Amino acid sequence: MTTKPPPSVVPAPEKSMEKIAYASVAGIPTSEPHERDRLGYNVWRWLMFRKDPLDLAIRSSGSRLQITEEEALRRIREALKEQGVENVD
């Protein structure tokens, strides 16, 4: 039996919504790394659809944050603004 090598991974472009979302949560302390990934996914969903407020996206992620939700919201908003995302308030 032979095994094929896994397919190569092509990174997303620097200005893609995925990069922006995950970069905005990179500095948020969580209990485990996958909690930050889940938070990043919810921020990405918010960026794509913007149906609910950003604070609801953070709360609905269910991520175990090591800071308050209010502090996480403030940091994420700042990071999004720095990356050129508009209307994050």
- pLDDT, one tens digit for every residue, the chain (89 residues): 668 888 888 888 888 999 999 999 999 999 998 999 999 999 999 999 998 999 999 999 999 999 999 999 999 999 999 999 988 87
Give the model's pLDDT for residue 28: 96
The span from the CA of 15 to the CA of 19, in Å, is: 7
Q: How far is CA 42 from CA 7, 21, 45, 69, 72, in A?
A: 26, 8, 5, 14, 13
Supply the pTM of this predicted model.
0.86
State the Cα–Cα distance between residues 84 and 75, nearest whole angstrom. Answer: 14
Which residues are 9's β-sheet partners? none
Q: What's the pLDDT at 1?
A: 61
